[in-house]
């Protein structure tokens, strides 16, 4: 059985990742970049599998790295915990492929993930705290519903594949697109961080996206990391996955 490695009690720098989607080449590039910036832990916000060609290797790599992971909708679909009626045709086809290729240890790992996790001052979920598997935190109403359930100063979600910072303060809910490499103070009031996607970015930039939390400096910084997209596309073609899913990696949509 896959078992995470022990984690340090006190963490200073944490790599925040999401939506790896079975893209091992992208994951390795992000983990190397994060390690070079002093990351001591990985928090993974779900959709570890789906779409891409390497579900078993991705899960094994994250387990080996001791990542804290939560469940995403594609993870749940891969194990059969939920259906794919709400998936588009390409996503449903990829989910069926993933389910057919999961090793027992990988399926057991994914089945053991919770929808929400709490790590110190942070709450972690894939979609929102209100609807962890499905809701996109892209509207003011969704943000308000999310923050109403946030019992920690900070939270992190994925699901949209687009990096974002959302705050709730005295003036209400405000969102901003982070600038890669620019540290942002965690600040006061409630904050939610979306690190973007490692394995299938959708903001027009095909480079992998992740964020680095620095607990000593009290900041979060988003980064973009180039990876060998052609290699992932080659593996997808070899696996017989839909061509459209491979092509979209090249233009980040």
Strands 219-225 and 41-44: unpaired
Question: Residue 190 is inside which H or E element, if any?
Answer: strand 190-194
The pLDDT tens digits for 183-221 are 999 998 899 999 999 999 999 999 999 999 999 999 999
In a domain, 59, yes or no: yes
Exposure of 110 in the CB half-sphere (CA atoms within 13 A): 32
The pLDDT tens digits for 20-33 are 999 999 999 999 99
Q: Is the pLDDT of residue 3 over 80?
A: no
In a domain, 4, yes or no: no
Q: Reduced to 3 states, what is the DSSP secondary structure of residue 56?
A: helix
In a domain, 2, yes or no: no
The pLDDT tens digits for 39-50 are 999 999 999 999
* Separation CA 235–CA 246 (nearest Å): 9
| CATH code for position 108 | 3.60.21.10
Determine the pLDDT at residue 179.
98
Determine the pLDDT at residue 10.
73
In a domain, 237, yes or no: yes
Q: Is the pLDDT of residue 2 over 70?
A: no
Nearest to 245, CA basis, from 210, 209, 202: 202
In a domain, 6, yes or no: no
What is the DSSP secondary-structure string of 114-170? -SEEEETTEEEESS-SSSTTT--S-SHHHHHHHHHT--SSEEE--SSSS-EEEEEET
**The tokens 């209400």 sit on which residue?**
172
In a domain, 220, yes or no: yes
Token code pair at residue 55: 């579900």
Q: Which residues contact 233 (CB under 8 A, 6 or more apart)?
A: 246, 247, 249, 250
* Separation CA 53–CA 240 (nearest Å): 9
Confidence of residue 11 (pLDDT cuts 50, 70, 90): confident
Percentage of the chain exceeding pLDDT 70: 96
Total residue count of the chain as it appears in this document = 253
Determine the pLDDT at residue 170.
82
* Separation CA 79–CA 94 (nearest Å): 13
The pLDDT tens digits for 94-144 are 999 999 999 999 999 999 999 999 999 999 999 999 999 999 999 999 999
In a domain, 253, yes or no: no
Please tell me the total count of domains within the chain.
Answer: 1
In a domain, 186, yes or no: yes
Helix %, strand %, coil % of the chain (to 5): 30, 20, 50
Structural domain including 149 reads 13-248
> Average pLDDT of the chain?
96
Collect contacts of 114-118 with beta carbons under 8 A, ≥24 apart.
114/70, 114/71, 115/70, 115/71, 116/70, 117/68, 117/70, 118/152
Confidence of residue 5 (pLDDT cuts 50, 70, 90): very low
Question: Residue 107 is inside which H or E element, if any?
Answer: helix 104-111
Average pLDDT, stretch 53-76? 99
Percentage of the chain exceeding pLDDT 90: 93
Q: What is the pTM of this model?
A: 0.94
């Amino acid at each position: 059985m896959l078992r995470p490695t022990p984690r340090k009690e006190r963490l200073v720098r944490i790599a925040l990742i999401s939506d790896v989607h079975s893209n091992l080449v992208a994951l390795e590039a992000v983990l190397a970049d994060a390690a070079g910036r002093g990351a001591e832990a990985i928090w993974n916000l779900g959709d570890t599998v789906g779409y891409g060609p390497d579900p078993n290797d991705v899960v094994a790599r994250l387990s080996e790295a001791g990542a804290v992971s939560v469940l995403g909708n594609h993870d749940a679909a891969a194990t059969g915990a939920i259906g794919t009626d709400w998936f588009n045709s390409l996503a449903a086809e990829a989910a069926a492929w993933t389910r057919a290729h999961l090793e027992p240890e990988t399926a057991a790992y994914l089945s053991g993930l919770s929808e929400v996790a709490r790590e110190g001052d942070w709450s972690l979920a894939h979609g929102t705290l209100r609807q962890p598997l499905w809701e996109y935190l892209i509207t003011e109403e969704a943000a308000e519903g999310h923050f109403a359930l946030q019992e920690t100063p900070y939270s992190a979600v994925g699901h949209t594949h687009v990096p974002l910072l959302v705050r709730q303060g005295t003036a209400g809910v405000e969102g901003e697109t982070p600038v890669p490499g620019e540290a942002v103070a965690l600040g006061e009031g409630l904050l939610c961080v979306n690190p973007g996607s490692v394995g299938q970015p959708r903001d027009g930039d095909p480079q992998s996206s992740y964020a680095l939390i620095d607990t000593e400096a009290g900041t979060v910084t988003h980064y973009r990391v180039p990876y060998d997209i052609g290699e992932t596309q080659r593996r997808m073609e070899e696996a017989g996955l839909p061509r459209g899913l491979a092509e979209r990696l090249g233009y980040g949509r």
